[in-house]
Amino acid sequence: MSVLAANDRREIEVHSYPLLVYALVPLAALVLQAWLPRLVGPYVWFDLPLVVTVYFSLSRRNPLQGMLLGAALGLFEDALSHHAIGVNGIAKTVAGFLCASIGVRIDVENHTIRVLLTFLLSLLCSGIYLFIYRVLLGMDMEWRGFTELFAAIGNGLLAFLVFPLLDRAQIRE
C-alpha cells in the first residue's frame, strides 16, 4: 500500500538558478519599472516586478519565499514610484504567496498556465490596489477598468516573452 502511495505521488521539481540571476533579474525589473514611465509616459502597461515575482514564486514553489520576494519587490517599487509605501508590497506579497501555493498543487511547467496566471494575478493586484486606496486609506481612486485589463494583457504578453528566457538560466542537474 505504501509503495502505491509513493508511486502515485508526483515529485515536485523545484528549479534553482545562479545567485547572479536571483540578484540581477529583480534589480533590473525594479530599475526598468521606475525608468520606463519617465521615458514613455504614465501609461506603461507592464508590471515587471509582478512578472518576476510570479516567475520565481512558481519555479521555487515555496510560499514563504514567494511572499518575501513579492514583499521586497513591492516595497522597493513603492519607494521608487508615486504609490503609498506598502500598497505594492501588500499586493505582490499576496501574488507571491498564491503563485507558490498554486505551483505546489498544479503543474506550472505549462507555458499557457503560467501566462494565464500572470494575467489573473495582474487583475488581482489591481483589485488589491483599489481596495487599499478606497477602503483602507479612504482615498479617492478612479477605477480604470479597460486600462487595468490592458495592463493585465501586457503583463501576460511580457510573461510570454520573458519566462522562456528565464527558463534558460536554470541550473540543470
The answer to whether residue 16 is domain-embedded is no
pTM for the whole thing?
0.87
The verdict on residue 146 lying in a domain is yes
Q: Is residue 50 part of a domain?
A: yes
pLDDT, one tens digit per residue, over 3-15 is: 433 333 345 677 7
pLDDT of the residue at 153: 95
Q: Does residue 14 form part of some domain?
A: no
In a domain, 159, yes or no: yes
Q: What DSSP line would sit under the chain, residue for residue?
A: -HHHHHHHSPPPPPP---HHHHHHHHHHHHHHHHHHHHHH-S-----HHHHHHHHHHHHH--HHHHHHHHHHHHHHHHHHSSSPTTHHHHHHHHHHHHHHHHHHHS---SHHHHHHHHHHHHHHHHHHHHHIIIIIS-------HHHHHHHHHHHHHHHHHHHHHHHTTSPP-
Model confidence pLDDT, tens digit, residues 111-147: 999 999 999 999 999 999 999 988 988 888 787 888 8
- Give me the chain's average pLDDT, please: 87
**pLDDT confidence tier of residue 159, bands split at 50, 70 and 90:** very high
- Residue 29 belongs to domain spanning: 23-39+46-167
pLDDT band at 106 (very low <50, low <70, confident <90, very high): confident
Domain contains 17: no
Does residue 103 belong to any structural domain of this protein? Answer: yes
Asked if the structure places residue 6 within a domain, the reply is: no
User: Considering its fold, how many domains does the chain have in total?
Assistant: 1
